[in-house]
Amino acid sequence: MTTLQIIGGGKMGEALARGLVARGRAPVHVVEPTPERRAVLDTIEGVTSGDEPLPGVDAVIAVKPDVVPAVLDPLARAGVTRVLSIAAGVRTAAIESHLPPTTRVVRAMPNTPALVGEGAAAIAPGARADAADLDWAESVLGAVGLVVRVDEDDLDAVTGLSGSGPAYVFLLAEALVAAGVAEGLDPAVADTLTRQTLLGAATLLSRTGEDPAVLRRNVTSPGGTTAAGLAVFEEADLRGLVARVVAAATARSRELGR
């Protein structure tokens, strides 16, 4: 029996559906208006698709924020009592206002590494959601990565940090490749070394759970090459720059959510 439906079979909806069936949560139903997308989704074992929500089945909303209001009335008509929205900037109160008072709403901010099962998501309860609803939301998003719990007001900062964070890392990757090439490396070599360096460093952070400052000191001999490089970052106030980057993205998230 289908116990979960995903409204919106785009990038995030498909990634969630794939992650959930891979974790034994089949069958998952995806509601998607475009026949071409439905044809793709139907090729995934354990996934079914259609163009109307199923009655009474818990729903994940994975459509663009401006489309959210349009999908809420059909969900209300279908008698859906539990909803997890991953739409950026759409507040739980706005979602609740379109649904019957018995419907519980949880909101999440995921990020794109969810597409490869390595997402970082934060979830926050709406006014009527309880601990069991948060457990449910965590088990859904846990299929595509790690999940933390926050208050809804913190979701803007989450957006500024982990929501937009992958793009910060991609920019650093671009800069590292260009810098390697500027120092005489073949572009393909610089590209390969950059990708693996970021993966290796991220894996060390993740697997050891060690304080990043300790990991940094472990590879920084006094007077050595890494120290020479890091000194340039410190002179340029990288920490202050990153604080401004996250603050700007957080502020933009607040503006868009108004």
Ligand X SMILES: NC(=O)c1ccc[n+]([C@@H]2O[C@H](COP(=O)([O-])OP(=O)(O)OC[C@H]3O[C@@H](n4cnc5c(N)ncnc54)[C@H](OP(=O)(O)O)[C@@H]3O)[C@@H](O)[C@H]2O)c1
3 state DSSP class of 17: helix
Cβ proximity to ligand X, 4 vs 63, nearer residue: 63
Pick one of 5, 19, 29, 32: the residue that binds ligand X (CB under 6 A).
Answer: 32
Retrieve residue 244's tokens. Answer: 């401004």
Assess 6 for contact with ligand X (CB under 6 A): no
Interhelix angle for 131-141 vs 11-22, to 10°? 90
- DSSP class of residue 161 equals I
Stretch of 57-65, 125-133, 168-176, 227-235 contacting ligand X, by CB under 6 A: 57-65
Cβ proximity to ligand X, 31 vs 190, nearer residue: 31
Assess 92 for contact with ligand X (CB under 6 A): no
DSSP codes joined into one string, 173-233: HHHHHHHHHHTT--HHHHHHHHHHHHHHHHHHHHHH---HHHHHHHT--TTSHHHHHHHHH
Assess 160 for contact with ligand X (CB under 6 A): no
Least distance from ligand X to the Cβ atom of residue 166, Å: 8
How do strand 104-109 and strand 119-125 relate by DSSP bridges? antiparallel
Assess 40 for contact with ligand X (CB under 6 A): no
Stretch of 83-91, 168-176, 212-220, 247-255 contacting ligand X, by CB under 6 A: 83-91
Residues in the site for ligand X, rule: CB under 6 A?
7-13, 31-34, 37, 62-65, 67, 70-71, 86-88, 109-112, 163
